[in-house]
Amino acid sequence: MIPVFRSLREDYGRDVLFVSMYDLPTRRKKLGWSIPENGKMRLEILDDEGWKVKVEKHLNDRPGIHIVNGIYHNERIRYVALRLTQGGHRFGVIMEAPANLEVGAKRMLKAVLAPIITPMRTRPVAHKAEFVLSASGDRQREFESLGFAPDGIFPFGYFPNFPLLERKDESTTPALRILCVGYLEPFKGQDCLLKALALLRARSVPVECIITGFGSAGEALKTLSTKLGLANRVQFVGVVDNERLLELFRWSNVLVAPGLEEPWGIRINEALLSGLPVVVSDGIGAKELIETSSAGQVFRAGSEASLADSLDILFRRLHNGSGLADLVREFRPSITPEAAASYIEKILEHREAVSRGQSVKTIRPIPPWHRLAKSRSTAAA
């Protein structure tokens, strides 16, 4: 979020103080993440000592609108959210829609209990929030069930900086070069990808695949790859640094995000920003970036047959002059941090107008990644 709020400060003149309740987690650093440059925006990272005192000082010293990242998911966030409601502060929320990342019996148990427990935890804060930015895209019904006012729910996501990478013409590339990035955990769906690759091999579709990351499913995935006869087509390269990641983005001609369920999926943004099309499961929030841009394919989560079909279609799109690369580049300006900041600025202006009783005269902001799809629909009509 730092590049987004930096743009809000530098491009729109908002007096932004960005307070991070924690430092960047070790597991993120291990994946090559780093803290972006904050530029002219004030950035403060709290430590374990005296964080409550600093929170209270900021709440007392800054009378503007506060935006809290979530409501209940850890002690510090919960403390800030409750203090905002108790102190009568103006505030909004950025949070992901509820997601079930468990597997097996735990997944079934959570599916039963979460719809009951989660709204009980969110409603006291949600009822007093002026708005919520859904970091899981367009999830109106889910956020209404959490207690947010229907007219204060806005689709959102995650919007990092990532460079546009030059690539050669993919129409002459003989193979589908697949990149899959992230933790190696059961809910990430890499097993579905491996099974889909076996199906593509049976169809004589030439494929190469690199899977990065670490996690509890790592050894099981390598065993499955060998069992499926994919040892010479799939590489598990572990954790890579940023320089190596850029090389892999240049090497590949499609990013695959096969997760069973994820609130968003920031690597989808990075792929599109780099100029790379994406094949994504319908269980991932960022699928709407592909649905609105047509810069890839969406498949049925957990279905290797659906994923194989989507990869097959994308391979043909790369080779038949469909203008896939142009679609990706056309969509890119809609998902930059600057585009997201512009959208937040419009939301803040809209909510300020509503608070003054001018809601009838205000136009509800449309996410920039939706506007492109809407303009295409209007042109087609």
DSSP 315-343: HHHHHTT--HHHHHHHHGGGGSHHHHHHH
* pLDDT score at 174: 83
Q: What percent of the chain has pLDDT over 70?
A: 95
Taking residues 101-117, report their average pLDDT. 86
Region 58-83 average pLDDT: 93
The percentage of residues in the chain with a pLDDT greater than 90, rounded to a whole number, is 77
pLDDT at 44: 96
pLDDT, mean of residues 254-280: 96
CA dihedral sign of residues 256, 260, 266, 269: positive
Higher pLDDT, 255 or 371: 255
Residue 92 β-bridge partners: 67
Say how many CA atoms lie within 13 Å of 373 toward its Cβ. Answer: 13
Q: Comparing C-alpha atoms, which of 268, 208, 212 is closest to residue 237?
A: 212
User: Comparing 25 with 253, which gets the higher pLDDT?
Assistant: 253
Q: Quick one: pLDDT at residue 170?
A: 60
Q: Is the pLDDT of residue 377 over 60?
A: no
Residues 6+ apart with CB under 8 A from 86: none
Q: Architecture of 170-333 per CATH?
A: 3-Layer(aba) Sandwich (3.40)
Could you give the CA distance from residue 233 to residue 251 in angstroms, rounded to a whole number? 14
Give residue 374's pLDDT: 55
- Residue 380 confidence (pLDDT): 47
Residues 57-83 have a mean pLDDT of 93
Tokens of 37: 């440059």
Kind plus residue range of the DSSP H or E element containing 254: strand 254-257
Structure tokens at 53: 């005192």
Alpha helical stretches, state H, 228-367 = 242-251, 266-274, 287-293, 304-319, 324-331, 337-355
Residue burial 320-333, b: 16+ Cβ < 10 Å; e: rest = eeeebbebbeebbe
Pairwise pLDDT comparison (359 vs 264), residue with the higher score: 264
Is pLDDT above 70 for 230? yes
Confidence of residue 381 (pLDDT cuts 50, 70, 90): very low
| Mean pLDDT calculated for residue range 259-263 | 93
And the tokens for 172? 């002459």
Q: What angle do CA 371, 139, 104 make, to 5 degrees?
A: 135
Distances (CA, A) of 377 to 28, 110, 219, 286, 292: 39, 39, 46, 20, 10
What are the backbone angles phi and psi of residue 161, rounded to the nearest 5°? -80, 140
- Per-residue confidence (pLDDT) for residue 375, from 0 to 100: 56
The answer to whether residue 31 scores a pLDDT higher than 80 is: no
Residues 78-82 have a mean pLDDT of 96
Return phi, psi of residue 130, to 5°.
-75, -25
Averaged pLDDT, 81-101? 93
With 70 as the cut, is the pLDDT of residue 256 above it? Answer: yes
Exposure string of 74-88, with b = 16+ CB inside 10 Å and e = fewer, is eebbbebbebbbeee
Q: Cβ–Cβ contacts within 10 Å for residue 177, how many?
A: 18
Task: Determine the average pLDDT of the residues in 313-332.
Answer: 90
| pLDDT band with cut points at 50, 70 and 90 for residue 114 | confident
Beta-carbon contacts of 43 under 8 Å, excluding residues fewer than 6 positions away, are: 2, 18, 20
- 361 confidence band (pLDDT: 50, 70, 90): low
- What pLDDT does 227 receive? 97
Domain 2-160+336-380 belongs in CATH node 1.10.357: no
Domain ranges of the chain: 2-160+336-380, 170-333
User: If you average pLDDT over every residue of the chain, what do you get?
Assistant: 91
Least confident of 26-30, 54-58, 137-141, 235-239: 26-30
Kindly list the distances between the CA atom of residue 65 and the CA atoms of 108, 130, 151, in Å, as whole numbers in the listed order: 39, 9, 18
